[in-house]
Structure 1
Amino acid sequence: MKTYIALFGGINVGGKHILPMPTLVAIFESLGLGDVKTYIQSGNAVFRSHEENVGFLSSRIVAEINKRHGFEPLLRVLELAELEQAVRANPFPDAETLPNNLHLNFLLSAPANPDLAALAAIQKDNERFSLIDQVLYLHAPEGIGRSKLAAQAEKRLGVAMTGRNWRTVCKLIELAKA
């Protein structure tokens, strides 16, 4: 069995697309996924499966949520090794000491024409970003809530994404290895 991490976008935010974590666990288990653990209410799950096709797993999960709850959440499913690689590839290791200011944004697909120049033009002097494979690393010392770069990233990359701060990414790896 492989260990996977499911990263949802847009659930349990602003009163929309409410999906309690016990309900999410029940959905995963109904699909035959095992050892399901969730972390915080914003949509993080660790699970195990014999299925090797990540796209198929993702489609099944989204379809089941749509069937039961009437919406299709954004979902990126990663193998544990992919998440560990994203951590190793962090271009801003000095930012790890303030884990709430370092964000990894996981893209749903590789961007065809990312406008990195437009992102560079709106970043603050103290912000840094780097696109590596399908992860946009963003160090925003003033927080992403005040960052034009964070607000424009998805539009300028042309690909949907879901972000997690460094602390959450590390916790998900810890859960996956437990």
Structure 2
Amino acid sequence: MITYVALLRAVNVGGTGKLPMTELRKMCEAAGFSNVRTYIASGNVVFDSTLAKRAVQQALERSLEAYAGKPVGVLIRTGKEMAAVLDANPFRDEAPNRTVAIFLDAAPPADTLEHIAGQQNEQVALGKHEIYVHYGDGMAKTKLRIPAAKTGTARNINTIAKLAEWAAQS
């Protein structure tokens, strides 16, 4: 049994296209995942499965597309990988609520930093399959654009820490 963390991309927690976390839990259970837990209403779910990572991703994406009527991106990390993302945070001395990891399906391109636009008081660093960003003035007024992050999904360090903690408890 492997503990996985699924991060849904662009989940709408209110209004049109809403995905209640109770529905997400039901989808995961229907897919055969066990010990399913969601964390805050933004598409974070921790569960156990005997399936390989890619099979887990495909099963969840199929269920979500059937529910939403359109593709919903899902990024999967094992519990150990989520802990490694937390440990690799290059901005440990900065506010965790102003620091995010943008999760990607693959390693960020080597030229990612060269294509950033609108950078002001943000710090950006590349991880294994993530892009770390510290928003010095917060995210509300940022003009930062990272083209390589377009298909990713971001979580702040507080959320990553909680998901890694839950995954470690499985």
Which protein has the bigger helix share?
A: 1
Q: Distance in 2 between matches of 1:74 and 1:94?
A: 31
Q: CA deviation at 1:15?
A: 2.5
Asked if the contact 1:34/1:48 (under 8 Å) is kept, the reply is yes
Aligned to 2:70: 71
Q: Residues 105 and 86 of structure 1: is their aligned pair in 2 closer, same or farther, counting only changes over 3 Å? A: same
Q: Report runs of 4+ in structure 1 exceeding 4 Å deviation.
A: none
Work out the percentage of aligned pairs sharing the same amino acid. Answer: 34
Counterpart residue identity of residue 160, structure 1: T
Length-normalised TM-score, structure 1: 0.87
Matched, 1:109 2:106: yes
TM-score normalised over the length of structure 2: 0.91
Unaligned runs of 5+ in 2: none
* Aligned match of 1:39: 39
Corresponding position: 1:168 with 2:159: yes
- Paired with 1:89 and 1:25, the residues of 2 have a C-alpha distance of 29
Aligned Cα RMSD in Å? 1.7
Quickly say closer, same or farther: Cα 1:86–1:118, change in 2 above 3 A.
same
Which is worse superposed, 110-119 or 58-67? 110-119
Contact 1:107 1:159 in 2 (8 A): no
Offset at residue 145 of structure 1 (A):
2.6
The number of residue pairs the alignment matches comes to 169
The corresponding residue for 1:23 is 23
1:13 to partner: Cα distance: 4.9
Which secondary structure state, in structure 2, belongs to the residue aligned with residue 104 of structure 1? strand
Structure 2 partner of 1:6: 6
